[in-house]
Amino acid sequence: MQRLSSYVLGAWHTGGDRTATLYDPTTDEAVAACSTDGIDFAAVVRHGREVGGPALRAMTFAERGALLKALSAAIHEHREELIEIGCKSGGNTRGDAKFDIDGATGTLAAYAHFSKSLGDKRYIADGEQVQLGRTKRFVGAHVRVPRQGVAVHVNAFNFPAWGMMEKLACAILAGVPVIEKPGTPTAWLAWRVAQITVDSGLLPEGAFQFLCGSVGDLLDHLGPQDGLAFTGSAATGAKLKGHPGLVARNVRVNLEADSLNAAVLAPDVDASCETYALFLQNLVTDITQKTGQKCTAVRRIFVPRDRVDEVRDDLVAALGRVKVGDPRDGESRMGPLASKAQFEDVRNGIARFSEFADVACGGAEPLFDKGCFLAPTLLVAKDARAELFHAEEVFGPVSTILPYGGGVEEAVELVGLGRGSLVSSIYTNDADWAEAYVLGAGCWHGRVWIGSDRMAEQALAPGMVLPAMVHGGPGRAGGGEELGELRGLEFYTQRVALQGFSGLLEGKFGG
């Protein structure tokens, strides 16, 4: 069994006897163990602040971007090994494992590219100068400078590589050292990526530390220059955001939490439209990719009431063609849930939902005697307004059809019952319908994806998180924001208003 370790204070630390055990969700075999016992978390924070921070801030954006580009290449060299670990430790099919790993290296490379616009500076110009005095000699300007703390990243289990590296890319480019904590059930893959990162020697000492296991009292040592970025459940996110020490010291907190993402089929789209085929294709992908364990997966499918039977039958047929099995089998298109706890949580969720919906396919019964396998599950709500569908996420291969009348106002109202999501996708060739939906529902979403015949052949799926676009959402989605090109650096930098002689500000802090 593999013993996973933490990288802190410039060395690897294996922890004590109190360990968390990781299992292969395909075979139920114990495959790894980890522990953070014995780590001095206060010293870890100081090491990042006092060693890693100054080293990063001494570099320009261009130099930090070059590090990210080289790190992307270093991780890519181990792609096949990482795919194998992803299959064994996380229940990923080969395609799902590649999705995670390529997302990690792709985001690093993207932020290396974004750094070129910042060049050899150590600050970011934020807007134009503003005349403040009687003449243009006295002006004001805004700049962003790196915060002089650490960034603690508590990542989810579903994307152990991508989730870690998308946060790291923004922080390192901004000039802020990171302390990474992966989700424990799939931490083996994150640990191997951490090993590659350390062995590459690319990042300055103290710029990257890695905790495999409990965070202990780490949060007690964060201060006003530090930040905490969390991806996971809304309940855990709320608990972290309310941590007394973080509140008392005004530590920045960025949350990406549960998201009851909605797909809406507009009434103008019939079976003859390319948009309808795209609608079905994207839904099958969202239900089955990563076994439905994606923060951007569609949980609520809004369909005009007179089209429900048609959509249900078409989705059941498409999901029925998805082979579920050992993810290392090249014919399998969906593997197991990532852990036994996740497996039981999803089963219980399906059982609760089944009281308010008809099961069109799948269900809560295990597919096999061994492992954490469930079938893709499609439900049809008896009442689209039932609170459960808009209040609880079943984080697995599960989605629910919710009938509506077809009007955009009703669609906006029903989608809003979810109280905030990462992404909503709509499928329509009616520009006015799309405009009304965006203006009505946009306030509840970090992103609205608009599918139509004119983009169907070139569209990336709505579940794809892209470095150039903002990722996050209001309300129950956490209220946070990540990525979005250089917008992703805002969490790690401080906006400073400067006032002084125009020549000085232009010469030293001009764009």
Catalytic residues: 256, 295
100: nearest Cα among 215, 26, 2, 186: 186
User: Please, which residues have CB within 8 angstroms of residue 136's CB and are 6 or more apart in sequence?
Assistant: 502
485: nearest Cα among 160, 156, 116: 116
User: How far is it, in rounded angstroms, from Cα 434 to Cα 443?
Assistant: 14
DSSP symbol at 498: E
* Radius of gyration over every alpha carbon of the chain, rounded to an integer in angstroms: 24
User: How far is it, in rounded angstroms, from Cα 261 to Cα 280?
Assistant: 16
User: How far is it, in rounded angstroms, from Cα 173 to Cα 491?
Assistant: 12
Provide the token pair at 82.
């990482």
Long-range (24+ apart) CB contacts under 8 A made by 14-19 are: 15/39, 15/212, 15/213, 19/213
From start to end of 132-226, where are the E strands?
A: 138-146, 151-154, 178-181, 208-210
From start to end of 246-364, where are the E strands?
A: 252-256, 261-265, 298-304, 357-361
Strand bridging mode 357-361 / 377-381 = antiparallel
Provide the token pair at 63.
């130099």
305: nearest Cα among 412, 381, 415: 381
Contact in structure between 395 and 299 (CB atoms under 8 Å): no
324 φ, ψ (degrees, to nearest 5): -105, 130
From start to end of 340-415, where are the E strands?
A: 357-361, 377-381, 398-404
Contact in structure between 366 and 373 (CB atoms under 8 Å): yes
User: Please, which residues have CB within 8 angstroms of residue 408's CB and are 6 or more apart in sequence?
Assistant: 266, 433, 436, 437, 440
User: How far is it, in rounded angstroms, from Cα 262 to Cα 472?
Assistant: 15
Contact in structure between 197 and 75 (CB atoms under 8 Å): yes
Tally of residues, the chain: 511
